[in-house]
A and B are shown apart, each in its own frame.
Chain A
């Protein structure tokens, strides 16, 4: 069992730290090279979103288990401005000026489960999971 880990996002350097943390955790949990890359890339997208839109936040990773199946859960939390229209930001190609319009829907495609809770003026929590094949 690997211990849950958290990375604080304050700068673009922390994006690299968060995705390296996620990759190491995925590797320790027995994910293959391609899933490690998917997980690390998804964390990179989500951590960048925190940095661009909220300024600061946390990314944490932990091992999960359901019906005997093991996986990894990633939780990204910020107390930023929140997302007014979650359906809109999940559309491919949608972006405000600084993003690529690819971060959230792209991260969702790379993971197995993806959930956003967001409230304007309060913040955003994204929880995503990937199960080991």
Chain B
């Protein structure tokens, strides 16, 4: 299967993945696997998944994102979702998928500052 790979960038202790194309199911699952492996390999403290370019998030992708956040959480890594379009937020809630346990920020910039706060806090805890 020629599933396309979503690039995952590392900046300091944070990984950033910006999903720019409509994901089909196989590529979404590939992204989950790649991201969790990359968290393990880089020991990232946080992950930002930017969805600005997505105009449809159906229950499959929504559920997968919730799973990614839960799985990364088990590994000790925070996930912040950024850039959800208004239409996507509306359809997710109408679908019944409110992602209550997923951290979100309006855009990538706000997501980065949220992540910096979160990782500093957890750094203090560890010290």
**Residues of A near any B CB (own CB < 8 A):** 12-13, 15-16, 19-20, 23, 33-34, 36-38, 40-41, 44-45, 48, 92, 100, 102-103, 105-106, 109-110
Contact = CB atoms under 8 A, between A and B. Distances in A.
Nearest to B60: A48
Contacts of A16: 22-24
B90 A106 contact: no
Interface size class of B (residues with CB under 8 A): 20 to 34
Given A41-B56, A45-B59, A106-B59, A15 B25 contact: yes
Chain A contact residues, majority secondary structure:
helix
Contacts, number: 71
Contacts of A12: 24-26
Nearest to B95: A106
A51 to B, nearest CB: 8
A36 B90 CA distance: 12
B9 interface: no
Contacts of A110: 91, 94-95
Interface in B56-70: 56-60, 63
Nearest to A100: B59
Contact of B58 (A33, A48, A105): A48
A36 B87 CA distance: 8
Given A15-B24, A37-B90, A106 B96 contact: yes
16 contacts: A12-B24, A12-B25, A15-B24, A16-B22, A20-B22, A23-B56, A34-B86, A34-B87, A34-B90, A38-B87, A41-B57, A100-B63, A102-B59, A102-B95, A106-B95, A109-B96
Contacts of B56: 19, 23, 37, 40-41, 44
B84 to A, nearest CB: 11
Contacts of B96: 92, 102, 105-106, 109
A25 B85 CA distance: 20
A37 B91 contact: yes
Nearest to A33: B87
A40 B94 contact: no
Given A40-B56, A41-B95, A44-B60, 15 more contacts: A15-B24, A16-B23, A16-B24, A37-B88, A41-B91, A44-B56, A45-B59, A102-B59, A102-B95, A103-B59, A106-B59, A106-B95, A106-B96, A109-B96, A110-B95
